[in-house]
């Protein structure tokens, strides 16, 4: 057995100490940056801290999937025999086929199926062209197949299958009316957040509380009935808190605004009416801040701050602030600002509407840096609070009523003619427009993210939620003059980023 000399022993001890200290400081550094995010997998922090790898990679299909047309140009069911062509034609889209062509090949070749049938008016530089081709009878199908096989410029073909938009939830008014869900790709994201194996469900510990600091919530609405938290005071149960009177209340919604916001975030997925963006295991704190002033319903810094404090004290995870005032750019509301900071420091993520106006003079004043909207301008100053602009329904670009400012507005979401729950029984659902409708979609995104992290025993900081939503957004560069980076909310993007950063949430083991 080798005898280790004393100097080597000392060297080894010093070496171990250095390594230990280095690891300790590395660990401390990571822990500090990740704040309250509790990690039990090194993979998560490595992936998360390495910003270059946390940006979403655009894997092309060609790299990812094998070529299913490798052995035959037309891909049909394996039991399709020539004798059953007629049956095939009737079964598969009535004889409509989709064909993939290499357009430059077809152009250079000058003959063959691809050259004759291809649409050669597309933009230059394309490597794929997709055409539809109809086959009427068995002999045409035989010719079609032999033409495909003989043509080098045909990549593949198959039945031209008809698709309809899918929805995870079956609430009938959602399917026909909630057209804000498609642009943010909510259904695609639900595959991750709500899948039966690893996703959120009501039996796990994923409960998320969203404070609706607004005009109240019509808590008897069938789509919100079980969503509004019962508040206990002196042995009595209440459905809300009134920050104006500092009293518990059973009052309903004053204007309909709060009910609309509440439904966008959390309306029940109960196969009836609509569903919210985050409909499962989400609960609403109903906090009214409006009172009837001389010029109609209004509120102020103190009342809103009272509402925020109530939300903090009642363990809200998220606060939605669809409120605004337009002021000169150097105008500050230190009370409300501090309340927002307090909430974020207490672990509450805050979504804030950027503000609305219909006046084009106001819009140009923003560009000239003459005005700003509060509390919107605090979103950009505070990690964990986000300010949200509204998108036009048909263009998917900034809505003309939405305030904007690339310095302070951090993200955009649908906000025009958005369909949600409403407060009176004759109009239980209604369409409203505004950044008031956009902010709840970011609140809903935050609720999805927080609920799945809670399920796996992570406690995300508000700043982490902001980073996840920001880093997963869809970038529309031309919009970066209106809001930061041209970032638009994407639930599908959020699901992909989270699946990548938190492998445990998709059932993947991580490195020790
Ligand atoms: Ca419903
Ligand atoms: Ca922010």
Tens-digit pLDDT profile for the chain (512 aa)?
Answer: 344 444 455 554 444 444 444 444 443 333 333 333 334 444 443 333 322 222 322 223 233 334 667 777 886 654 444 445 666 666 555 677 888 888 888 888 878 888 888 765 555 566 677 787 888 887 888 899 899 989 989 988 877 765 443 346 889 899 889 999 999 999 999 999 999 888 998 778 889 999 999 999 999 999 998 999 999 999 999 999 999 898 999 999 989 999 999 999 999 999 999 999 999 999 999 999 998 878 788 889 999 999 999 999 999 999 999 998 887 877 888 889 989 999 999 999 999 999 887 665 565 656 556 677 889 999 999 999 999 999 999 999 999 889 888 999 999 999 999 999 999 889 999 999 999 999 999 999 999 999 999 998 888 999 999 999 999 999 999 999 999 999 999 999 999 999 988 888 888 765 43
Residue 44 pLDDT: 45
Q: Residue 362 sits in a domain of what CATH number?
A: 3.40.50.200
Distance separating alpha carbons of residues 252 and 439, to the nearest angstrom: 22
DSSP class per residue in 284-337 = EEEEE--EEETTEEE--HHHHHHHHHHHHHTT-SEEEE---EEE-TT---HHHH
Q: Clarify whether residues 112 and 183 are in a common domain.
A: no
Q: Clarify whether residues 391 and 253 are in a common domain.
A: yes
214 is catalytic: yes
Which candidate in 54, 436, 472, 495 is catalytic?
436
Q: Collapse the DSSP code of 466 into the 3-class scheme (helix H, G, I; strand E, B; otherwise coil) and give the result.
A: helix
Residue 360 pLDDT: 57
Cβ atoms 349, 241 nearer than 8 A: no
Residue 384 pLDDT: 96
Distance separating alpha carbons of residues 486 and 352, to the nearest angstrom: 17
Among 159, 182, 217, give the residue marking a domain's end: 159
The rounded Å distance from CA 465 to ligand 1 centre is: 26
Backbone angles phi, psi at 104, to 5 degrees: -70, -35
Distance separating alpha carbons of residues 344 and 462, to the nearest angstrom: 6
Distance separating alpha carbons of residues 250 and 476, to the nearest angstrom: 44
151 is catalytic: no
Nearest to 378 by CA among 342, 340, 427: 340
Q: What is the DSSP letter of 74?
A: B
Q: How many CB atoms lie within 10 A of CB 54?
A: 18
The rounded Å distance from CA 171 to ligand 1 centre is: 5
The rounded Å distance from CA 259 to ligand 1 centre is: 14
Q: Clarify whether residues 108 and 238 are in a common domain.
A: no
Provide the CA 436 distance to its chain's centre, in angstroms: 17
Cβ atoms 131, 116 nearer than 8 A: no
62 is catalytic: no
Q: Clarify whether residues 415 and 366 are in a common domain.
A: yes
Backbone angles phi, psi at 223, to 5 degrees: -85, -5
What angle (nearest 5°) sits at the alpha carbon of residue 454, between those of residues 340 and 316?
A: 30
Give the number of the ligand closest to the Cα of residue 349. 2
Which candidate in 147, 151, 171, 214 is catalytic?
214
Backbone angles phi, psi at 196, to 5 degrees: -70, -25
Residue 37 covered by a domain? no
Among 159, 194, 216, give the residue marking a domain's end: 159
Give the number of the ligand closest to the Cα of residue 409. 2
Backbone angles phi, psi at 9, to 5 degrees: -60, -45
Residue 348 pLDDT: 97
Cβ atoms 69, 145 nearer than 8 A: no
Pairing of strands 129-134, 385-391: unpaired
- Tokens 């900034």 sit on residue: 398
Number of domains in the chain: 2
Q: Clarify whether residues 285 and 402 are in a common domain.
A: yes
Q: Clarify whether residues 135 and 219 are in a common domain.
A: no
Q: Clarify whether residues 219 and 152 are in a common domain.
A: no
Give the number of the ligand closest to the Cα of residue 167. 1
Distance separating alpha carbons of residues 107 and 153, to the nearest angstrom: 9
Distance separating alpha carbons of residues 384 and 471, to the nearest angstrom: 14
Q: Clarify whether residues 184 and 129 are in a common domain.
A: no
Which candidate in 221, 257, 260, 275 is catalytic?
257
Distance separating alpha carbons of residues 399 and 433, to the nearest angstrom: 9
Give the number of the ligand closest to the Cα of residue 383. 2
For residue 263, what are the domain limits? 172-506
In sequence order, what are the beta bridge partners of 386?
A: 351
Longest pairwise C-alpha distance within the chain: 94
DSSP class per residue in 84-116 = GHHHHHHHSGGGEEEEEE-HHHHHHH-SSHHHH
Q: Clarify whether residues 486 and 371 are in a common domain.
A: yes
Residue 164 covered by a domain? no
> What protein residues have CB closer than 5 angstroms to ion ligand 2?
379
Residue 54 covered by a domain? no
Q: Clarify whether residues 152 and 200 are in a common domain.
A: no
């Amino acid at each position: 057995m080798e005898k280790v000399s004393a100097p080597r022993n000392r060297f080894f001890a010093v070496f171990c100490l250095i390594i230990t200290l280095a690891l300790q400081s590395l660990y401390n550094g990571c822990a500090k940056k990740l704040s309250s995010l509790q990690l039990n997998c090194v993979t998560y922090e490595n992936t998360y801290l390495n910003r270059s790898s946390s940006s979403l990679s655009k894997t092309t299909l060609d790299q990812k999937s094998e070529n299913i047309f490798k052995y035959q140009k037309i891909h049909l069911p394996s039991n399709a025999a020539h004798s059953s062509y007629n049956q095939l034609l009737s079964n598969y889209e009535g004889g409509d086929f989709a064909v993939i062509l290499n357009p430059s090949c077809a152009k250079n070749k000058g003959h063959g199926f691809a050259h004759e049938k291809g649409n050669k008016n597309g933009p230059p530089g394309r490597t794929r062209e997709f055409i539809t081709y109809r086959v009427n009878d068995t002999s045409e199908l035989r010719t079609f197949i032999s033409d495909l096989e003989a043509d080098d410029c045909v990549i593949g073909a198959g039945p031209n299958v008809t698709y309809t938009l899918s929805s995870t939830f079956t609430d009938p008014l959602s399917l026909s009316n909630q057209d804000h869900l498609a642009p943010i790709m909510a259904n695609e994201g639900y595959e991750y957040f709500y899948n039966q194996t690893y996703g959120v469900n009501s039996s796990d510990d994923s409960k998320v509380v969203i404070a609706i600091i607004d005009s109240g919530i019509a808590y008897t609405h069938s789509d919100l009935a079980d969503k509004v938290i019962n508040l206990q005071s002196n042995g009595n149960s209440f459905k809300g808190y009134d920050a104006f009177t500092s009293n518990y209340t059973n009052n309903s919604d004053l204007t309909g605004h709060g009910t609309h916001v509440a439904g966008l975030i959390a309306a029940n997925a109960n196969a009836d009416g609509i569903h919210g963006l985050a409909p499962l295991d989400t609960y609403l704190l109903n906090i009214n801040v409006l009172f009837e002033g001389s010029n109609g319903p209004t509120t102020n810094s103190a009342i809103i701050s009272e509402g925020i404090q109530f939300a903090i004290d009642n363990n809200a995870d998220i606060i939605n602030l669809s409120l605004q005032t337009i002021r000169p750019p150097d105008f500050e509301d230190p009370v409300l600002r501090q309340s927002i900071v307090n909430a974020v420091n207490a672990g509450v993520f805050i979504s804030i509407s950027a503000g609305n106006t219909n006046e084009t003079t106001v819009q140009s004043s923003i560009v000239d840096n003459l005005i700003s909207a509060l509390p919107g301008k605090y979103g950009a100053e505070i990690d964990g609070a986000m300010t949200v602009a509204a998108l036009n329904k048909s263009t998917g670009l900034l809505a003309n009523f939405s305030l904007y400012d690339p310095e302070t507005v951090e993200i955009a979401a649908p906000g025009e003619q958005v369909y949600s729950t409403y407060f009176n029984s004759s109009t239980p659902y209604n369409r409203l427009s505004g950044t008031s409708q956009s902010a709840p979609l970011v609140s809903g995104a935050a609720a999805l993210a927080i609920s799945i992290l809670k399920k796996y025993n992570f406690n995300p900081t508000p700043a982490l939620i902001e980073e996840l939503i920001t880093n997963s957004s869809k970038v529309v560069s031309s919009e970066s003059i209106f809001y930061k980076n041209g970032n638009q909310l994407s639930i599908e993007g959020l699901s992909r980023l989270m699946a990548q950063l938190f492998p445990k949430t998709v059932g993947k083991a991580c490195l020790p």
